Chain A
Amino acid sequence: MTVATVRRHGLLRHVLHGMTRSVFSTVCLGTLAIIVLMVFVGPWLSPHSYYATDLNAVLLPPTLVDSHWFGTDELGRDLFVRTMIGGRISLAVGVVATLVSLLVGVTWGATAGFLGGRVDHIMMRIVDLLYAIPFLFFVILLTVVFGRNIVLIFIAIGAVNWLDMARIVRGQTLALRQRDFVQAVQIMGAGKARIILRHIVPNLAGIVVVYTALSIPQIILLESFLSFLGLGVQEPMTSWGALVQQGTALMETAPWVLLIPSTLLAVTLVTLNFVGDALRDALDPQDSRR
């Protein structure tokens, strides 16, 4: 993997260069940037709040009147602000839960790969064992048992999503351990924790960036799935999954309640997936098929 040799400050440039080579991934990256910007700035542009109900303006279609740009729902709440706030939640869950899984996965994988031998064997057996369990059902069970709570969802999703990362990082670490510079610091007497944190982990950056990018859409999907089933965020707070569910119930009379958040969610997931793929191509020249 060439990335191991790309210096840390050079990585970003390397990635950006690889990404912007194709017009299509540039468009995806731009669309994504616009969505993220809209989601964070959008609510301030509108005079409405995401929770205020207005029974004189129920189920308005998208209109410029009274700045209900995306219309209103059955309680007269402004859908533009709700869609943006919902997007904040969806994106935040995606990013935060990915960071949790990143932390656990990288530490676990790097430790197993570096220590090797019996410890590695036991640690990876645990990963294999957990890998076989379909955790989605357990996340649902967890929300049933301990109530629906957004922090719990962050942690639960992050905690079950680290297995892929641990496997990939371990494989990469096994290769890095044989490299001269690691053996050199080892001979110089650096401690194991120091070698893992200072010398192994930074060199994993490339592969970790790729799998982080690919895991964010998965987690957004998972959160929306839970919210769609009514097991995620609770009213009046919302997320894209919860908005889609609301839209499903209202689609005969007010299709825009379904179509607008669905479109945004779909576009976000598609562009995130394409960006992830483009990142993989940019960082992994061996994989030329995609």
Chain B
Amino acid sequence: MLRYTLLRIASIVPTLAIVLVLAFTMVHAAPGGPFEDPRAVSPEVKARLEAQYGLDRPYHEQLLRYTRGVLVGDFGPSYRYPQSRVSELMRAGLSVSFALGSIAFIIGLSLGVVLGVAAALRQNRWSDHLLMAVSMLGISVPAFVVAPVLVLVFAITLSWFPVGGMQGTGAFVLPVIALALPLMAYVARIIRASLLDVLKSQFIRTARAQGLSTWTVVVRYAMKPALIPLVSYLGPAIAGVLTGSVVIEQVFNLPGCGRLFVQGALNRDYTLIMGLVIVYSTLVITLNLLADIAYGWLDPRVRYR
């Protein structure tokens, strides 16, 4: 098992290297440079500026230099706002995104488990069908539809919460709901399916035959194996929350990394986007890996092949 864990950890190095090289190469291939505008700078000044930022060096030297920077957490200057560093912008954004994402993650996960168990215990009754239909809606209807509709109903029509921004705790309620909803729907479906599977197995029948109550059977025996498929979904779930936050922060005007990403993309801030792609990818890949390793430790049937 230790060997499996170590091998899995080692396997993310090439993936991260591909991410970095791919992002850098795509940005490098972009037409035009930061000092392209002929009115702004004369050719001599342009050459001096390029030399100062190392843009006159060959591709592999620039890549090496950038990689060295990334390894110590320096993603270079912003392309649009040369006076600020990309790493500073991202640090400010990450604190907002992290708060939003982790609250939504915890709420979505716990509510999803509760609803999934409830649906499984009422299999094929109308409450189960209703829950599953609603969860299909939660999965299918994208965040960028749910979020504006929530704003329209709860912020504009009912004025219960602010429309956007960061004023007070109330400002976080709608974004968290919009972000947690699809996660909750997915988790509920996964838990329902896996709990139904577990409830069919022999050891549950034995437990029931010994006269244990449904509650004891579910909580003490069925829940643990039923949660294992959920662990393998945690990786994609985290990726989903991260991409969801891109839309949510845009709709609710929250100054997180997601909004930074969209603004950067619309402004063509190459270095900022490159930095964010690398940070997001690293987060997704690392968290995926952690979920994988946890799965390996939890499920005795998984062994490294």
Q: Identify the A interface with B (CB < 8 A).
A: 129, 132-134, 136-138, 140-146, 217, 221, 224-225, 228-231, 241, 244-245, 247-248, 251-252, 255, 258-259, 262, 265-266, 269-270, 272-274, 289-290
- Contact (Cβ within 8 A) A144 B239: no
Query: Closest approach, in angstroms, between the C-beta of B254 and any C-beta of chain A?
Result: 15
Whether A248 pairs with B251 at a CB distance below 8 angstroms is yes
Q: In the complex, A265 Cα to B145 Cα: how many Å?
A: 9
A144 and B273 form a contact (CB under 8 A): yes
Pairwise interchain contact B14-A229, C-beta atoms closer than 8 A: no
In this complex, how many residues of chain B approach chain A with their Cβ under 8 Å: the count is 50
A141 and B26 contact, CB distance less than 8 A: yes
B156 to chain A, nearest CB (A): 6
User: Inside 8 A of B284's CB, which chain A residues have their CB?
Assistant: 134
Asked if B142 lies at the interface with its beta carbon under 8 angstroms from chain A, I say: yes
- Are A134 and B281 interface neighbours, CB within 8 A? yes
Q: Quick check: which of B15-23, B44-52, B57-65, B82-90 contacts chain A, the rest being far away? A: B15-23
B201 interface contact, C-beta 8 A: no
On chain B, the residues within 8 Å of A230 by CB distance are: 262, 266
Checking B142, B239, B265, B288 against A140 with a beta-carbon cut-off of 8 angstroms, the contacting residue is B265
**How many angstroms from the CA of A274 to the CA of B140 in the assembled complex?**
10
CB-based A-B contact count at 8 angstroms: 122
Query: Complex formed: what's the CA distance from A266 to B15 in Å?
Result: 35
Q: Are B29 and A136 in contact, CB atoms less than 8 angstroms apart? A: no
Contacts of B97 in A (CB 8 A): none
Known contacts A138-B277, A251-B152, then 7 further A-B pairs from the complex at CB < 8 Å, ordered by chain A residue: A132-B15, A137-B276, A224-B144, A225-B243, A230-B262, A244-B145, A269-B141
Enumerate B234-257 residues with CB–CB distance to A below 8 Å: 239, 242-243, 246-247, 250-251
- Judged by DSSP, the binding face of A is helix
Name A274's closest neighbour in chain B (CB-CB): B136
**Chain B residue at minimum C-beta to C-beta distance from A224:** B142
A-B pairs with beta carbons under 8 Å apart, 29 shown: A129-B14, A132-B288, A133-B18, A134-B243, A134-B284, A134-B285, A137-B261, A138-B26, A141-B23, A141-B277, A142-B26, A144-B268, A146-B30, A224-B142, A224-B144, A225-B142, A225-B243, A228-B144, A229-B250, A231-B266, A258-B148, A262-B148, A266-B142, A269-B140, A269-B141, A270-B137, A270-B141, A273-B140, A289-B193
* A137 touches which of B12, B29, B281, B288 (Cβ 8 Å): B281
Residue on A nearest B242 in the bound complex, by CB = A134
Closest to A24 in B: B133
> Quick check: A225 and B247 within 8 Å, CB to CB?
yes
* Residues in A whose Cβ lies below 8 Å from that of B246: 229
Please give, as numbers and ranges, the residues of chain A lying within 8 Å of B27 by CB-CB distance. Answer: 141, 145
> What DSSP secondary structure best describes chain B's contact surface?
helix
Contact in complex: A273, B136 (CB < 8 Å): yes
Q: Could you say which residues of chain B place their CB within 8 Å of the CB of A229?
A: 246-247, 250, 262, 265-266
Cβ contact of A247, chosen from B148, B265, B274, B285, cutoff 8 A:
B148
Most chain B CB neighbours (cut-off 10 Å) among A129, A140, A141: A141
Q: Give the chain B neighbours of A274 by CB distance below 8 A.
A: 136
Minimal Cβ-Cβ distance residue in A for B272 = A144
Q: Which residues of A contact B197 (CB under 8 A)?
A: 289
Per-residue CB contact flags for chain B residues 122-147 toward chain A (1 = under 8 Å, else 0) read 00000000000000110111101100
Which 4 A-B residue pairs are closest in the complex by CB-CB distance? A269-B140, A270-B140, A248-B148, A145-B30
| Minimal beta-carbon separation of B187 from chain A (angstroms) | 16
Q: Does B270 make an interface contact (CB < 8 A)?
A: yes
A132 B12 Cβ-Cβ under 8 A: yes
Q: Which of B152, B242, B265 contacts A231 (CB 8 A)?
A: B265
Q: B161: which A residues are within 8 A, CB to CB?
A: none
Please report the C-alpha to C-alpha distance between residue A245 and residue B262 in the assembled complex, in whole angstroms.
13
* In contact, A140 and B261 (Cβ under 8 angstroms): yes
Interface centre among A136, A217, A274 (most CB of B within 10 A): A136
- List of A residues within 8 angstroms of B94 by Cβ: none
Q: Is the CB of B193 within 8 A of A290?
A: yes
Asked if B145 contacts A266 (CB within 8 A), the reply is yes
Residues of A within 8 A of B106 (CB): none
Is B151 engaged at the interface, CB distance under 8 Å to the other chain? yes
**Chain B positions within 8 Å of A265 at CB level:** 142, 145
